[in-house]
Amino acid sequence: MRLSMRTMMSAVLALALAIAFPACRKEAAAPGGDVATEGDAAMTVQKDLYGRLADGTAVDIYTLKNASGLEARVMTYGAILVSLKAPDRSGALADVNLGFDTLQGYLGTHPYFGAIIGRYGNRIAGARFTLDGIEYRLPANDNGNTLHGGLKGFDKVVWKGEAVRSGRGPGVKLSYLSKDGEEGFPGNLAVTVVYTLTDANELEIRYEATTDKKTPVNLTNHAYWNLKGEGRGDVLGHVLRLEADGITAVDSAKTLIPTGEIAPVAGTPFDFTAPHAIGERIAQVEGGYDHNFVLRSGGGALALAARVEEPESGRVLEIWTDQPGIQLYTGNFLDGSVVGKGGHAYGQHYAFCLETQHFPDSPHHPNFPSTILEPGQTYRTVTVHKFSVK
């Protein structure tokens, strides 16, 4: 009888311990000192020192790897996507994102390679806007207009980095406080950007922002893609489809300021509603493509915006977003003077950009979707880059 009682007490104790301490998975130190969960060993986040600014400020780089072998590297300077390695149809990995091998390259003059753009992606006409009767003047850094946030936008500041993990894959969270008056914009704007590399071979970018004063906000990422691999020639043979029936018409190829008109693409070189090679009609577009396409989805919910296929490698990139617009830029100003990774000189059309966004110069066009963020509101948007092969 005593033996049965002892057995019963052991069982009760075991049950009590199980309730008090739910089953835990073993954890092991991942490279760089981060913690990886057992069973997720193929999904890692590694943090390393990438370099220092002239004043000694440290710049860290986070390497994300998913279970399928994709690798993304993101640094805290400019919240820049430094590289993205994706397989071709034979499984060979290549970096499909233009950029530099070292921090020093990013500290020099370059066309926003891989950077997070803010406060306002694209252009604001006349380097000024009026909000509630107050005129705000901004740096004029592009033909008398403001481009990509001004002289020192979000691409040229050091963000705070933090490794994060979700059930979808490894990631890095970057945070930055843009102070009231920075580059002429009103309000203290607290921004977070989370890059996640999912096991569905997606690079997801989530943006959030809050402010204490009304201010225009239009965040995007300025990655330069070449699905053959960076430095491996132009992208004119890439085949593009865009889910857009219109563009925001511009005043000229030089200034690229919207007129306010939404122009239909049907019957023009801007019609990518059916797949076309990027270079098929580019000669008919003065200066090359650098235009905002008005997405059919209208924004507000995640929807397919673009699909790009590279015939030689078989790599395919789909871009999904909840934004109302996407800017197609075909590396028109690359001229071989920028020497990037591996000593590659990046020539004209060596990359394309597909920047998800609200429309350019929206503060001057009431008919465009509003970009004004108010206190008490939270700016939230997501863009997904999905990689596959064909």
CB 151 within 8 A of CB 140: no
Helix (H, G, I), strand (E, B) or coil at 32: helix
CA-based nearest residue to 169, from 187, 196, 192: 196
Total domains in the fold of the chain: 1
Distance CA 333, CA 147 (A): 15
In the chain, what are the helix, strand and coil shares in percent, each to the nearest 5? 10, 45, 45
Question: Among 222, 238, 349, 358, which one carries the catalytic annotation?
Answer: 222
Distance CA 290, CA 329 (A): 4
**What count of Cα atoms within 13 Å lies in the side-chain half-sphere of residue 38?**
5
- pLDDT recorded at residue 23: 31
Q: What is the pLDDT along the chain (390 residues), one digit of tens a residue?
A: 333 433 333 343 333 333 333 332 222 222 233 333 333 556 789 999 999 999 999 999 999 999 888 999 999 999 999 999 999 999 999 999 999 999 999 999 999 999 999 999 999 999 999 999 999 999 999 999 999 999 999 999 999 999 998 888 999 999 999 999 999 999 999 999 999 999 999 999 999 999 999 999 999 999 999 999 999 999 999 999 999 999 999 999 999 999 999 999 999 999 999 999 999 999 999 999 999 999 999 999 999 999 999 999 999 999 999 999 999 999 999 999 999 999 999 999 999 999 999 999 999 999 999 999 999 999 999 999 999 999
- pLDDT recorded at residue 378: 98
- pLDDT recorded at residue 303: 98
Q: Does residue 20 sit within a domain?
A: no
Domain that holds residue 201: 32-389
- pLDDT recorded at residue 168: 86
Bond prior to 315 in cis (omega within 30° of 0): no
The C-alpha angle 83, 87, 88, rounded to 5 degrees, equals 125
Q: What is the CATH number of the domain that holds 174?
A: 2.70.98.10
DSSP 156: G
Q: Does residue 337 sit within a domain?
A: yes
Helix (H, G, I), strand (E, B) or coil at 292: strand
How far apart, in Å, are the Cα atoms of 68 and each of 59, 85, 96, 110?
Answer: 28, 11, 16, 32
Q: Does residue 106 sit within a domain?
A: yes
Q: Does residue 12 sit within a domain?
A: no
Distance CA 83, CA 70 (A): 11
Q: What are the tens digits of pLDDT across the range 202-226?
A: 999 999 999 999 999 999 999 999 9
- pLDDT recorded at residue 37: 36
**Residue 211: burial class (beta carbons within 10 Å; 0-12, 13-18, 19+):** buried
Tell me the H-state helices in the chain. 2-20, 103-107
Active-site residue, 355 included: yes
Tokens of 43: 């999904």
Q: What are the tens digits of pLDDT across the range 6-58?
A: 333 334 333 333 333 333 222 222 223 333 333 355 678 999 999 999 999 99
The single residue listed with the structure tokens 């069973």 is: 39
- pLDDT recorded at residue 42: 64
Q: Does residue 19 sit within a domain?
A: no
Distance CA 100, CA 339 (A): 8
Q: Does residue 342 sit within a domain?
A: yes
CB 362 within 8 A of CB 368: yes
Question: Among 148, 238, 355, 385, which one carries the catalytic annotation?
Answer: 355
Q: Does residue 1 sit within a domain?
A: no
How far apart, in Å, are the Cα atoms of 90 and each of 56, 86, 235, 314?
Answer: 43, 11, 20, 9
Q: Does residue 146 sit within a domain?
A: yes
